Amino acid sequence: MESDIFALTRGTAPLLVSVPHAGMHIPPALERRMTPAALQRADVDWHLPRLYDFARAMGATLLAANYARHVIDLNRPPQDESLYPGQDVTGLLPMDTFRKEPLYLPGQAPDAAERDERRERYWRPYHDALRGELERLRSLHDHVVLWDAHSICSVLPRFFEGRLTDLNLGTADGRACAPALQAAVEAQMAAQSDYTHVSNGRFKGGWITRHYGAPSRGRACAAARDLPVHLHGRDRALRLPHRPGGARAAAIAADADGRCGNAPVAGWHRSRRPVRPGGRRSTGTGRRPWPARWCRASRAGPAHAPHAA
């Protein structure tokens, strides 16, 4: 399906993979109002549509955003209620980066009217498409799984201490996902030893997981998955590096997603492994490592404060 808001590939399997933070486009008029930090697009979920390309062969439906989350965050409630009251979070229209850098030049921040306009222009079409695809798949199958795919830097002191677990499954503490499906996905994580993993730890799933995932009410099973960028990407360039971690992580994702398609979800987050103190990490390839400002090494211990993707 053609749209400037999203890229949609329809399948017939009972699995829909949503990638709401994959977009990189920022309208030129908006770019002129933004800071250099904003234009680096450091908070984009880099490479995930390519990583999840295997899902096409499974017959899954893939929906990926075209516009950057700096324009609007598709994984936030339309009225911008906090998903984690009392905690530091980014909203529907983010005002700063994950590292607390301002997104807008002085005097250029959007007002309430612009927020409403962007919600109608960018947010609503994505969710109309997501809802429509879930309804289409429900007309074909008794159960449908919504797999909300994310990636994030593994060291972000703003949101959590220490380094994020590699594979992060979020099911809104089980409310968005059938117990049998969550157990099947957790079994796949436990069956490998390459990556650390956790369910409903720092990431419990954002608005997409919580809103669309309601198997007890006859709606789709939804899960959010956050993956560390060090497993599938290296820098901001649009190149998918040749690295074993990406292939292995994709294999785990494929096996887990295959099981999702056969069970009545939730989501993963994939963290980006930090560089060493001093800002550089050996890649073993002679190529440029991650920029130091993206993933700064930390010696702090782990924590378990949740954060919405």
Give 136-164 pLDDT, tens digit per residue.
999 999 889 999 999 888 888 888 888 88
Residues contacting residue 142 through CB under 8 Å, at least 6 positions apart: 264
Q: Which has more confidence, 79 or 267?
A: 79
pLDDT at residue 174 in the model: 93
- Residues 84-109 pLDDT 10s: 777 878 899 999 999 999 999 999 99
State yes or no: pLDDT of 266 exceeds 60: no
Choose the weakest-confidence range: 34-38, 79-83, 219-223: 219-223
Residue 8 amino acid letter: L
Distances from the Cα of 112 to the Cα of 30, 33, 85, 119, 121, angstroms: 16, 16, 21, 11, 14
State yes or no: pLDDT of 182 exceeds 70: yes
The domain 6-272 is classified under which CATH number: 3.40.50.620, 3.60.15.10, 3.40.140.80, 3.40.630.40?
3.40.630.40
Average pLDDT over residues 9-30: 96
The overall average pLDDT reported for the chain is 78
State yes or no: pLDDT of 299 exceeds 90: no
pLDDT at residue 161 in the model: 83
Most confident stretch, 122-131, 159-168, 279-288: 122-131
- Residues 213-232 pLDDT 10s: 987 766 677 787 776 555 55
235-240's contacts with Cβ under 8 Å and 24+ in sequence apart are 235/288, 235/289, 235/290, 235/291, 236/40, 236/41, 236/42, 236/46, 236/291, 238/46, 238/47, 240/47, 240/50, 240/51
pLDDT at residue 254 in the model: 54
Q: Which has more confidence, 211 or 239?
A: 211
What pairing do the DSSP bridges indicate for beta strands 221-228 and 197-199? Answer: unpaired
Q: Which has more confidence, 229 or 32?
A: 32
Average pLDDT over residues 180-197: 90
Whole-prediction pTM value?
0.77
133 closest CA partner among 41, 64, 73, 77: 64
Average pLDDT over residues 252-274: 47
State yes or no: pLDDT of 80 exceeds 70: yes
